[in-house]
Structure 1
Amino acid sequence: MQEKIVELRKLKLLFVEDEDDLINIITDTLTKLQANFLTAQNGQDALKIVEENPDIDAVITDINMPIMNGLEMIKILKEKNPSIPVVIMSAHTEIEYIDKAKEFGVENYLLKPFDFIKFIELITTMEIKKHGI
């Protein structure tokens, strides 16, 4: 697992989540792991952050959020930057969300409650073009 954490540290990630409790857990854990990450509370904020940070390597997003949901954000993000990897994290097991996300080029998803071990395994095995290196 230590090798995977080293790989994780090479990436710049954006987490998009509107639940304060979950974003606090994610922030605390990633800070302890010395990961390079940013957070946004909705899709609109996330798109602005990606525009201001072209070195973001991957986006991890919730689906149901205020202002702009994850699917709307993914659609716009993929139109502007088709190669950026996106991982959905959602409590929703409805296949329609996953199918819609797949139409936009999303191949990976994690179900809530958020599992850091599964996340680290997934993100470090994905083919990610490192923009920051």
Structure 2
Amino acid sequence: MEEKIFELRKLKLLFVEDEDDLINIITDTLNKLEANFLTAQNGQEALDLIEKNPDLDAVITDINMPIMNGLEMIKILKETNPNLPIIIMSAHTEIEYIDKAKEYGVKDYLLKPFDFMKFIELITTMELNKNVNR
């Protein structure tokens, strides 16, 4: 696992989540792991951060959020930045959400409650398009 954490530290990630409790847990854990990450509370805030941070390696997003939900954000993001990997992190297992996300090109889906071990395994083994936007 130490090797995976070392790989995680090489990445710049964006977590998009509107639940304060969950984002606090994610922030505390990633800070302890010395990870490089940003957070946003809705899709619009995430798009603004992505525009200012073209060096992001992946976006991890919830679906249901205020202002702009995750699926709307993904649709826009795939049009403007099609190579940026996206992982959906959601409690929603409804097939319509999964199908829509797949239609937009999202391949990876993590169910809540958020499991850091699964996340670290996924993010360090998925094909990330390094330096696509750099």
TM-score tier by shorter-chain length is over 0.9
SS at match of 1:98: helix
Matched, 1:33 2:33: yes
- The CA distance in 2 between the partners of 1:52 and 1:80, in whole Å, is 13
2:100 alignment counterpart: 100
Once the two structures are superposed, what CA deviation does each residue of 1:49-105 show, in whole Å capped at 9, x if it has no partner?
A: 000000001000000000000000000001001110000000011011011000000
Q: Using the aligned pairs only, state the percent identity.
A: 82
Give me the whole-angstrom Cα distance separating, in 2, the residues matched to 1:95 and 1:4. Answer: 31
Tell me the distance in 1 between the aligned counterparts of 2:33 and 2:117: 12
- SS of the residue 2:128 aligns to: coil
Pairs within 5 Å for 1:76-115: 76-115=76-115
Partner of 2:57: 57
Coordinate RMSD, CA, aligned: 1.1
Aligned counterpart, 1:18: 18
Partner SS, residue 56 of structure 1? coil
TM-score relative to the length of structure 2: 0.97
How far, CA to CA, are the matches of 1:130 and 1:117 in structure 2? 22
Unmatched 5+ stretches in structure 1: none
In the superposition, the TM-score normalised over structure 1's length comes to 0.98
CA–CA separation in structure 2 for the residues paired with 1:4 and 1:130: 17
Partner of 2:73: 73
Deviation at 1:32, TM superposition (A): 0.2
The alignment status of 1:48 with 2:48, answered yes or no, reads: yes
Q: How many residues align?
A: 133
